[in-house]
A and B are shown apart, each in its own frame.
Chain A
Amino acid sequence: MQPHADLLIRKARVIDPASGRDEVADLLVEDGRISRIGASLDAPGVDMVDAEGLWLLPGLVDSCIRLSEPARGRAGTIASETHAAAAAGITHLVALPDTDPVADHAAAVRLIRERSVRAAAARVVPLGALTQGLAGAQLSEMSSLADIGCVAFANAGKPVQDTLVLKRAFEYAATFDLPVVVRPQDAALSAGGCVHEGPVSTRLGLPGIPPLAESLDVARALMLAKATGVRLHLQLLTTADSVALVRAARAAGQAVTADVGIHHLWLDDTAVRGFNSLCHVDPPLRSATDRAALLEGVADGTLDAICSQHTPLSAAAKLAPFPSTEPGISGVDTLLGLTLELVEQGQLPLARALDAVTQAPARCLGVRGGSLEYGRLASLCVVDPARRRPVAERWLSAGRNTPWLNYSLPGQVQLTLCEGRVTWQADA
């Protein structure tokens, strides 16, 4: 592991959505901690990084990734995937509990933590399972899991069908003020489906998942959260109705947060035409109307965070007829590039876009990161915003399951520090 860094980063445009800072300045890291930010800092004997024309951002916080280990069928290791994340400016990864074994007991979470600390180039923040085995029947030991580092509790891609169980899970979590993460999807309405239900699914004859499968479950989660007082984070929203429901709940004073996958902001269901299994994801890519509503939701803050839903898969996982392929896109490598491209295309203001991948996800899930704070171990990245490069040139995830390999994206990351240590440095 790298030692704590001493570094003077000079003349960068320092953008920190948490404090509203956006100015050209120098930033000094001493013994891994941010000690000063200001004009023309002087620090004799300290390594200097000339960052003129570059941006200095808080390290990105990815609010939804799936771990490669311990897990079956996914490509890579914690080491390979956190290395890919670091090269993309990400310092904190919130990991779903759908590992193997499931992160529903202390031993499993400790295993993840140990492997992460040993191998990781980014901080892995585990979510605990909301129910044992994600089976939706018995509550997991949430309080014990929180004691060893689980920041929130989720049932990952497995909907809790029994509303009574979900209500009790909310009540129990609320007892200890633990946040709950719900990825809304009605089990019966989505059963057997593999794409958005609409003209494309009808033309291809693929079983569809109606938008209603999600919005109905959003409504259920919102009502239960209101009744129980639990802190609710809705994950991976994909439909216009879901955005409208969250917006209305907020307007009525309910404290609820939400995120969206970056690919759902970029692609709609037409991407699966020709049975393109690289665009087979769960929840599915929705209609163009839904996609527009999601972008609007991010722009106005209804959707707090943008995540990668990183799911690195082996090549074989996508080598099958479409319905039999594994859903998922390997996402950490392109999270920043795709977010910045939304800004370049005028879809999102820069400040909001950066907030959505730094401070907002940290705030939603109680992650200590996503901002440039004095005295705290530095988690930051230095980015060349103007430089576009073919995605395939720097692809580090072990999963090559992405539709973006033939594209060029902006935002090359030159340097990443995670909790005071250098985790990525680009060749000059």
Chain B
Amino acid sequence: MSQPSPDTLQLTGSGRLRNFLTIDALPRSILEEILDTAASFVDVGDRSIKKVPLLRGKTVINLFFEPSTRTRTTFELAAKRLSADVLNMDIARSSTSKGETLMDMLRNLEAMSADMFVVRHGDSGAVDYIARHATPEVAIINAGDGRHAHPTQAMLDMYTIRHYKGGFAGLKVAIVGDILHSRVARSEIHALNILGAEEVRVVAPRTLLPADIDSLGAKVFTRLEDGLRDADVVIALRLQKERMSAALLPSESEFFRLYGLTNERLAVAHPDAIVMHPGPINRGVEIASEVADGPRAVILHQVTFGIAVRMAVMSLCMSGRETEREAAHAAAR
């Protein structure tokens, strides 16, 4: 049953990033390196020439098996600001439902001398699978797989938190809403624990909490007031409409009444608490307009930081691979 562990899939022999699949079990130093590197890219968007040449001559393919305009756009922009050539492929799930077909497609794309795949897929583990089966020359970035992981979203949230709070020590972070179906929440819980947040809380009715979520390092609250008390950071998650038909919730309005973020509810949080959301938001479902548009909300800054964080992840994976190749060459000589 021996398989390469996610660690060896993600890290080079000398501990540099080579793929970015999940936050789970990554060392703190890597997460900090991503944040520091992102900081150096944040102002690229303000320059008259919005480009740096780090990925010049490289080909990045956005492989989206699940529709997403926002995430794909920010990845595309990030790659272009790194001077890469970018190809977008939106693939209907049905055309690759058979494993062989997916493998064939990978082989075809590899034959085009791609250097990086940015992958989103509806199946948990799909990006991990592609990383195991694609040629090792191609860097794989996870843009969201099933309920498993969305590591770049989590890192841009970490960037935002560090930007506003200066660091993670002593922070209480509350993640509110549909934890069960959320890859964002899972990646955030890992990242916050690795970066040393004091307390990571999840707040939801029991129908939206995955089994044994505490085993990931999260404290469970079912009452919003308790979960928000003294919180420094509040992250609301998007609630999909189909949760009602699956009998997980009675209605959007009851959810909002019990778990929606309003100014009144946020009164028990820390006075300087910031409110985040991975977007797109449902006003009046998980968050009130007064909060989304209010002074605590940092939602639009998340989007800006998201481009810098994705640039950081892409350039670190490429430079990790360069170093690996140089080391291999030196050893061969």
Contacts and interface: CB of A to CB of B under 8 A. Distances in A.
Interface in A292-319: 316-319
A341 to B, nearest CB: 15
Interface residues of B, number: 34
A199 B215 contact: yes
21 contacts: A198-B211, A201-B210, A201-B211, A202-B212, A204-B148, A205-B148, A206-B146, A208-B211, A274-B4, A274-B5, A274-B6, A274-B128, A278-B1, A316-B99, A319-B100, A321-B99, A321-B121, A323-B124, A323-B146, A324-B123, A325-B99
B211 A199 contact: yes
Given A198-B212, A275-B129, A323-B146, A204 B3 contact: no
Contacts of A325: 99
B103 to A, nearest CB: 6
Interface string B72-108: 0000000000000000000000000111101100000
Nearest to B187: A205
A204 B126 CA distance: 11
A199 B210 CA distance: 9
Contact of B211 (A197, A271, A324): A197
A175 interface: no
Contact of B1 (A205, A279, A324): A279
B114 to A, nearest CB: 20
A319 B100 CA distance: 7
B213 interface: yes
A320 B215 contact: no
Q: Sort A-B residue pairs by CB-CB distance and give the 6 closest, nearest first.
A: A320-B99, A205-B148, A205-B147, A321-B126, A275-B125, A321-B123
Contacts of B186: 202-203, 205
A322 interface: yes
Contact of B210 (A202, A317, A321): A202
B212 A322 contact: no
B310 interface: no
A206 B133 CA distance: 20
B123 A323 contact: yes
A204 B97 CA distance: 20
A209 B148 CA distance: 16
B279 to A, nearest CB: 20
A205 B183 contact: yes
A157 interface: no
A403 interface: yes
A152 B98 CA distance: 35
A406 interface: yes
Interface in A226-253: none
Interface residues of A, number: 30
Given A205-B186, A321-B129, A210 B211 contact: yes
Nearest to A326: B99
B48 interface: no
Contacts of B245: none
B173 interface: no
A206 B211 contact: no
B211 A204 contact: no
A390 to B, nearest CB: 14
B103 A319 contact: yes
A203 B186 CA distance: 7
A202 B179 CA distance: 10
Given A203-B24, A205-B145, A205-B147, 5 more contacts: A321-B99, A322-B123, A323-B125, A324-B99, A403-B1
A241 to B, nearest CB: 15
Contact of A205 (B4, B98, B146, B212): B146
A203 B211 contact: no
A276 interface: yes
A203 B126 CA distance: 15
B125 A321 contact: yes
Contacts of B124: 204-207, 275, 321-323
Contacts of B4: 274
A374 to B, nearest CB: 44
Contacts of A324: 97, 99, 123
A322 B146 CA distance: 11
A318 B132 CA distance: 13
A322 B125 contact: yes
B216 interface: yes
A276 B97 CA distance: 18
